[in-house]
Structure 1
Amino acid sequence: MARLRANQDQHPSTLTQAIATALLTTPGRFDRITADARALYGRRARALHEALGSALPGRIEAVPPEGGLFVWVKVLDDDPDLHAARARAHTLGTDFGVGSHFSPPGGSGSPVHIRLGIGAVAEHEIATAVGRLAEALHPETAR
């Protein structure tokens, strides 16, 4: 691994290589880490999906992900202004990716979709973040 990495970069980090070597040569370590990560992100994805269903019933479509760190959500409003909603989300202390940002150059894909990340949000903070998202998407219904 270290030789392959060195062929890609003339100045690889010795510390990074040492960490990768320890990770990949200690029996069972990599498998334990990936199993722990799958469990953690699985809990977060389920919590996000449940919170979305509670906070935005009938206003979005979200399929529980089978893996990964993002949930792709379709906003069911007619012609939603997701850029304005994202600006509101920022003022409320949360964020999301606007689907059109994930289209190839010149593409028109995903104008009614948003991408929500679960990598950096603790499970106990997800409901709060989704409440802020709901307010950003539909400020007229906010309390």
Structure 2
Amino acid sequence: MPDPVIDDLLAGFTPPRPYTMEAAADAPRAPGVHVVLEGGTVIYVGRTGNLRNRLRQHLTGNRDSSVLHEQVGQLLDKQGTVATAQDIAGWLGEREVRWQETDNPEGTKEALVLALKPRFNRQVPKPRSPRASG
């Protein structure tokens, strides 16, 4: 069942597509925010200065180059063998990706992570509040 809150938060994003190299190749070389979805649920939010390169890096990089790659690798490692880059790309290919160009990727990512608390984002930013003086 569609979630109207998620639909509103992702209103400016591309339609969901399987997370493959073909999808990554269609992304612009522009700053933006990307989300990975599993069954309609956002499981990761990322920001970048170049959407196309970053989406490719999640699929082809190594665990040091991508928090998402590392987190998925750890999940797959639990099955008994160390997951390869190909295993990780295959797992991601069974998920969906969406993206949005924005001049404020940091702020957009922070707002989405706070609202959605995706399981593959390591750190959830703390809501900003005025500091007490004293």
Q: Which has the higher strand share?
A: 2
Normalised TM-score (structure 1)? 0.29
Normalised TM-score (structure 2)? 0.30
Q: Which has the higher helix share?
A: 1
Structure number, greater radius of gyration: 1
